[in-house]
Amino acid sequence: MITRRTANKSILALVVSALVCLAFILPVAAQECPELVGRWPYGSAYAAVVDGDHVYFGSGTTLQIADVSDPASPQWVGEVVLPGVVRGIALSGDHAFVADDWDGLRVVDVSAPSAPVEVGFVDTPGRAFGLAVSGNHAFVADLAYGLRVIDISTPGTPVEVSFVATDSLVVDVAVSGDIAYVVDFSEGLRVIDVSAPSAPLEMGSYSSSFGDPRAVAVSGRFAYVADGVQYGGLTVIDVSVPSAPAKVSSIETPGRAQGVAVVGNHAYVADNADGLRIIDVSTPSALAEVGSIETPGWAYGVVLAGGHAYVAGEAAGLRVVDISTPSAPLEVGSIDTPGGARSVAVFGGHAYLAEYGGLRVIDVSTFSMPEESGFVDVPGWAHDVAVSGGYAYVAGEAAGLRVVDISTPSAPLEVGSVDTPGWAYGVALLGNYAFVADHHGGLRVIDVGVSTTPVEVGSIDPQGDAEDVVVFGHYAYVAAGIQGLQVIDVSTPSAPFWVGSVDTPGRAHGVAVFGDHVYVANGAAYGLSVIDISTPETPVLVGSIGLQTDARDVTVSGDYAYVAGGFIGGLYVIDVSTPETPILVSDEGTPGAVFGVAVSGSHVFAADHQAGLLIFHGCHLFCDGFESGDTSAWSGTG
């Protein structure tokens, strides 16, 4: 029995709680929001360099060092965590110089390979994508901010001494003698006199014939340029007269050439999805491919040493290829790295990263020190993951739905699968059913009551390409690409049917539900749409906010929506306390592209495509532990 006195005590307790909450929130609001509190920094490999018995290569935002005295059995030696994605590496003496994307030039002391340590940096104005070191200077390809020339005579205190501006994007640089050869996205190959590093002078350029120039190597009087457009291949330019570089010849390759290295009579081209291509350049005017090898992942960079090619394979890590017989290259060793993270789910002190080639389990019980617990290889590219009841359900693109037993996080095991007709991009769970956004295959409904033998029981082909799905009540809300939001009644899982839709701007990539509203991430520049679903059959667009990013995913907690910035990167925080007028609160930069975001308690987890997992303290703060905003537990106050 509730007496008036008991009710008054409850009301008093609520008032006191509200005052305490106000006192708690006011100082918190002044803090950074969101605040990066931890990261698991491993990811894509874009660059490598070899010195003696050691290879130095990037993995996400880490510089990795391995012993390759036996190339067939490379052994990890040491690592150092840097702030940005490792895009380029050069060595000089006891130091490694790293082009660190958004975070400029980093200098690492590698005199003790097992204990490398960062000793200096220069934060360049752009994105450091490539570099070369010659004498006491580093030359950094800084994308939109041209070529930066940095004095490294004192490695601990590098200083920029000059730069060469550009109207385009500078992506790579090689130095031979007193000349820097710069790859410029729109201007092709630029030849720059750097004999006086404080006053570089452009001497000539060659801009014809390129579609998407990506990398350059120089040997003798020739520059070899990798062209990243499909079939762009390799172009040879005579630079014997620096003021008048001239094309000699070119050869197509099947992929999108990203990197090139030359030794003797052969050029080695990292050809993205088409592996390593070996070109005979003994007669520069008559190039001929003489060998090739498919490598896992996407070949981005290549370096040569001791009869071996070391290929940075983005999500497939470092591949070691024996090139002693150029016509018959053979992979002899490798070091795997994570990469290609697309989505994240959090459950029971673990984060589950869906990434290229599998599902990775990260222990996040200590937010500031996440550690890998386990990994399971699954076919295809894991695009999304949902977790329930000791199982992870992975949307595996062309490989359909994969079911993984995670009851032992350190030893995840695939136990079942269903092949879907399209590309499984998204997955949501409700009861005994998994709902798969199958791109051109529509929405697939799969009975997972027996996880080891999942069975498709229903499907519907709504308009558009199903890219993501969330289920709430009796309805599935599907992000359907250019067809916006599609609403499907799934009250009878074996017979789903369409009930409504909303045309959102851009391309609907991600979807979340909170209360009576659906939130849709709309891709490039179109930001976030807010849709009232109080009547699911007649959803109404009530609010929107444009974002200068590639909005790919969204999750909502309390008064805030967290938006993944896609290829452009970043975590965007939107105040949606008034759904009709969403307001941008924060734009938090990230090392790489962000395609997935999840909330657990007071923390936000972002899947960084290049750099693993980022953990933020979120903005959705509620007092007394009610991070979800659910105050139902207050009914017991008294």
Instruction: Using the predicted structure, report yes or no on whether residue 122 has a pLDDT greater than 70.
Output: yes
**Rounded Cα gap, residues 411 and 375, in angstroms:** 7
Tokens 């010659």 appear where? 134
Those residues with Cβ within 8 angstroms of residue 263's Cβ, 6 or more apart along the chain or in another chain: 219, 304
Give 3-state DSSP helix, strand, coil % of the chain, rounded to 5.
5, 50, 40
Provide the pLDDT for residue 357.
Answer: 84
Please count the CA atoms within 13 angstroms of the CA of 165 that sit on its side-chain side: 1
CA distances from 336 to 246, 320, 356, 412, 416 (A): 40, 11, 12, 18, 25
Q: What angle do CA 35, 317, 401 make, to 5 degrees?
A: 75
**Rounded Cα gap, residues 515 and 558, in angstroms:** 10
CA distances from 388 to 265, 346, 352, 443, 636 (A): 57, 10, 12, 20, 29
**Rounded Cα gap, residues 10 and 16, in angstroms:** 10
Provide the pLDDT for residue 23.
Answer: 36
2.60.40.10, 3.40.50.920, 2.130.10.10, 3.40.50.800: CATH of 212-335: 2.130.10.10
Provide the pLDDT for residue 621.
Answer: 56
Residue ranges per structural domain of the chain: 4-30, 45-207, 212-335, 349-503
CATH architecture of 45-207: 7 Propeller (2.130)
| Neighbour-count burial of 123, counting CB atoms closer than 10 A to its CB (0-12 exposed, 13-18 middle, 19+ buried) | middle
Tokens 């799905």 appear where? 469
- What mean pLDDT comes out for the span 456-477? 96
Question: How crowded is residue 501: how many other Cβ atoms within 10 Å of its Cβ?
Answer: 18
- What is the domain class of 349-503 according to CATH? mainly beta
Antiparallel, parallel or unpaired: β 105-109 and 234-238: unpaired
**Please, what sign has the CA dihedral across residues 82, 87, 91, 92?**
negative
The tokens of 8 are what? 């008054």
Provide the pLDDT for residue 42.
Answer: 96
Q: Residue 447 — left, alpha, or beta (φ > 0 → left; ψ -120 to 50 → alpha)?
A: beta
> pLDDT-derived band of residue 187, with 50, 70 and 90 as boundaries?
confident
Those residues with Cβ within 8 angstroms of residue 18's Cβ, 6 or more apart along the chain or in another chain: none
Instruction: Using the predicted structure, report yes or no on whether residue 450 has a pLDDT greater than 50.
Output: yes
Instruction: Using the predicted structure, report yes or no on whether residue 207 has a pLDDT greater than 90.
Output: no
**Rounded Cα gap, residues 475 and 44, in angstroms:** 37
**Rounded Cα gap, residues 349 and 373, in angstroms:** 11
Instruction: Using the predicted structure, report yes or no on whether residue 315 has a pLDDT greater than 70.
Output: yes
Nearest to 183 by CA among 245, 124, 251: 245
Identify whether the C-beta of residue 588 lies closer than 8 Å to the C-beta of residue 573: yes
CA distances from 332 to 74, 304, 322, 323 (A): 10, 14, 6, 10
Identify whether the C-beta of residue 488 lies closer than 8 Å to the C-beta of residue 478: yes
**Rounded Cα gap, residues 239 and 205, in angstroms:** 10
E strand or H helix at 13, and its extent? helix 4-29
Decide whether 212-335 matches 349-503 in CATH topology: yes
Supply the mean pLDDT for the chain: 91
Nearest to 314 by CA among 356, 360, 359, 253: 356
The tokens of 617 are what? 């303290």
Instruction: Using the predicted structure, report yes or no on whether residue 176 has a pLDDT greater than 60.
Output: yes
Q: Which amino acid is at 409?
A: P
Provide the pLDDT for residue 243.
Answer: 96
Percent of the chain scored above 70 by pLDDT? 92
- What mean pLDDT comes out for the span 522-550? 96
Identify whether the C-beta of residue 45 lies closer than 8 Å to the C-beta of residue 337: yes
**Rounded Cα gap, residues 229 and 338, in angstroms:** 26
Those residues with Cβ within 8 angstroms of residue 71's Cβ, 6 or more apart along the chain or in another chain: 306, 308, 320, 322, 332, 333
Provide the pLDDT for residue 636.
Answer: 35
Provide the pLDDT for residue 342.
Answer: 95
**Rounded Cα gap, residues 237 and 342, in angstroms:** 39
- What mean pLDDT comes out for the span 528-547? 97
Question: How crowded is residue 398: how many other Cβ atoms within 10 Å of its Cβ?
Answer: 13
The tokens of 86 are what? 């490792």
Those residues with Cβ within 8 angstroms of residue 248's Cβ, 6 or more apart along the chain or in another chain: 222, 236, 237, 238, 284, 285
- The residues pairing with 469 across neighbouring beta strands, listed in sequence order, are 478
Identify whether the C-beta of residue 490 lies closer than 8 Å to the C-beta of residue 449: no
**Rounded Cα gap, residues 518 and 178, in angstroms:** 59
Provide the pLDDT for residue 3.
Answer: 33
Identify whether the C-beta of residue 34 lies closer than 8 Å to the C-beta of residue 604: yes
CA distances from 248 to 213, 224, 285, 293 (A): 16, 10, 6, 26
Please tell me whether residue 343 adopts helix, strand or coil conformation.
strand
**Rounded Cα gap, residues 531 and 110, in angstroms:** 54
Provide the pLDDT for residue 347.
Answer: 95
356-385 pLDDT tens trace = 889 999 999 999 999 999 999 998 889 999
pTM above 0.95, yes or no: no
Which strands make up the sheet holding 75-81, listed edge to edge?
48-51, 54-59, 62-67, 75-81
Nearest to 545 by CA among 526, 571, 567: 526
70-109 pLDDT tens trace = 999 999 999 999 999 999 999 999 999 999 999 999 999 9
